[in-house]
Structure 1
Amino acid sequence: PIKFQIGSPLDEPLRYEAERIHERAIARSIVVAQKEVTLNDFLALVPQQRYTEKYSKTPDSAMICISWFDSARYCNLLTEKEFGASECVYLPNEQGLYEEGMRIADNPLKKKGYRMPTEAEFEFFHRAGSLAMFNHGSDVRLTDRYSFYVANSKDQAWPVGSLRPNAFGLFDTGGNVFEWCLESYDPYPNLNISDEDAFMSSQNKMIMASISRGMRGGCFYNQISSLRSADRNGAKPDDRSNSRGLRLVRSLP
């Protein structure tokens, strides 16, 4: 089990109130994909998925234009192939669709299936266990070496792993594309809490199209402030904007 600080200190430049600093505990081990899901990865399982080619141009570029619902479906397809349907984290709605009315399975953080990270998991692996402002540390002069954002992206997503990884060996945790998170985008709890308890207190059972889901990391058109470790964002689960992408994680038994 690990305990760590989530959120941003009051004196951090560009912070905002939603990043209230507190302690979070994660009592499980997880596997994190080294790179974001690519066009090639996603289209191999969902060949009919549409995306805007001008913003992601090569098979090894980050997959874009995927909603939270699309991401849940992709995670389940991978899980079914490797572990069987019983380990799936996401449950389709009564019509068998990954749309409003779908659910998250009971005890999702204990299942072996592929899923989106929780916000706390993302922030921990983005910082690589540090308290740094960015995925590479706190020196803004190094940002171009680690992240694609408005200053260096030429307004497009890039092949994953093109820049330097963070200290955990993970690429593009800041910039390139936003990465969807598992839970809904809610205010942080007003106490130090385990990640499991924080997840259960959120609006996470029935997925409603009107309730935003979390997403992290910033994207290719964002300013540097959105690349900060503590920066939080959310969007409706059916949002297929050009910056929406995915990084896979799964819990270890």
Structure 2
Amino acid sequence: MNPDRPTSFAARSLARLDRLQWAAVVAIGVALGGGAGGAGFFLGEAPAWAIFWLALFAGIYWLGYTATPVFDERRPDVSPPRPRRVCDGELLMVDLPGGDFRMGSPASDDLARDDEKPQHQVTLAPFRMAVTPVTAELYREVMGQASTGDDPPVARLPATGVSWLDAVEFCNRLSVRAGYRPCYSRGLLGGWRCDWRADGYRLPTEAEWEYACRAGSTSRFCFGDDPAVLDAYAWYEGNAKGAAQPVATRRANAWGLYDMHGNVWEWCWDWYGSYSSRPARSPRGPIRWKFWAGTRVLRGGSFVNQPASLFVYPPALLRSADRFDGAPEYGHGHFGFRCVRVPPQHVDRSTH
């Protein structure tokens, strides 16, 4: 049972009251008790204090029973635990639980674009995600050169100007440094393929990214629907002054992940394409046979509004379901990425 939840009938009744209801209860209880006590005193039928307190508590109990609940009676007894943080090689990560969620935007959302629909059910296996985007400092250590937008790299700034191809190469090199089996390799036609059974670092799938960003929420942003709250969670056009900002300097979402809204657009594994309305299990995006054509998905928004969307309300670009895409060989100044990997207990070691 949840130790914070009242269990007795009387306790549940009293727990229903908010501050205004408590004020009303006390006022009515005092009035009823005072009237009854005064009558008892003058009529001599019962001790004044006994009738007073009896009427007072009766009023509190009755109003507590009929008041609108402050908490949801249907709330499960056990709240889901906050994901566990782990030091994984050179990255601080969180172990995210697998589960179901609604991916994309509902038809009723007037800020949603067509490529976010239809909203559909997705089931994901557990995975581990980095708490922040890859920093410029770590990028230079691993790759032996600064990312395009950071020369020299500044500690705690996200790596920027990174192409999808650069991000994939970084994941492989970081995996080798950590003693893991790299996920990515070249296919026969020159395109990259992913070994999903490997224990190395990789880019998140688009579904994994949105699931992690939402952190259990169903609203436009991880914190709700009000864009006025964005300043607390995101670096974006409204507060970043046109430049990337140090990671983890705004609030984290409910699962302890920073910069999921804003700062830099983050590359995902998936080729960009339309959604299906059918439920999906661990989707990895559309299959493309022409590896030299097409664009890859980016998520999260950035410190600047991209030129192609100058007429889009800027906060709309930072919504959990918003999508963007780019050619994998190009790394613009507001493109970055973060790493994920399979938790150790879920790694398939049959081919090691």
- TM interval, short-chain normalised: 0.7 to 0.9
How much does 1:137 deviate? 2.0
Q: Which residue of 1 aligns with 2:135?
A: 38
The one-letter amino acid paired with 1:90 is Y
* Alignment pair present for 1:124 and 2:207: no
**Aligned in 2, Cα 1:50/1:5: closer, same or farther, shift over 3 Å?**
closer
CA-to-aligned-CA distance 1:202-246 (integer Å, 9 cap, x gap): 226x67242101110011112111100110111110111001101
Q: Number of residues paired by the alignment?
A: 238
1:221 counterpart (284, 304, 316): 304
Higher normalized helix content (fraction of residues): 2
Distance (Å, rounded) in 2 between the aligned partners of 1:190 and 1:138 = 24
The range that moved more, 127-136 or 173-182, is: 127-136
1:209/1:237 contact within 8 Å kept: no
The range that moved more, 224-233 or 130-139, is: 130-139
* Alignment pair present for 1:247 and 2:341: no
2:176 counterpart (69, 77, 80): 80
2:136/2:150 contact within 8 Å kept: no
Q: Which residue of 1 aligns with 2:293?
A: 210
Distance (Å, rounded) in 2 between the aligned partners of 1:220 and 1:202 = 29
User: Percent identity at matched positions?
Assistant: 32
Q: Which residue of 2 aligns with 1:161?
A: 248
TM-score with structure 2 length normalisation?
Answer: 0.64
Distance (Å, rounded) in 1 between the aligned partners of 2:99 and 2:290 = 29
SS in 1 for 2:131: coil
Distance (Å, rounded) in 2 between the aligned partners of 1:152 and 1:209 = 37
Q: Which residue of 2 aligns with 1:63?
A: 159
SS in 1 for 2:270: strand
SS in 1 for 2:252: coil
1:233 counterpart (299, 304, 324): 324
2:191/2:292 contact within 8 Å kept: no
Distance (Å, rounded) in 1 between the aligned partners of 2:334 and 2:136 = 13
Q: Which residue of 2 aligns with 1:90?
A: 184
Q: Post-superposition, which runs of at least 4 consecutive aligned residues in structure 1 deviate over 6 A? A: none
CA-to-aligned-CA distance 1:60-114 (integer Å, 9 cap, x gap): 1010001000000000011112234xx21111467xxxxx8232134x2x32110
Runs (5+) with no aligned partner, structure 1: 95-99
How much does 1:50 deviate? 4.2
TM-score with structure 1 length normalisation?
Answer: 0.88
**Aligned in 2, Cα 1:207/1:74: closer, same or farther, shift over 3 Å?**
farther
Distance (Å, rounded) in 1 between the aligned partners of 2:258 and 2:141 = 22
- Bigger radius of gyration among the two: 2
The range that moved more, 176-185 or 11-20, is: 11-20
More contact order relative to length (CA 8 Å, sep ≥ 6) = 1
The one-letter amino acid paired with 2:144 is P
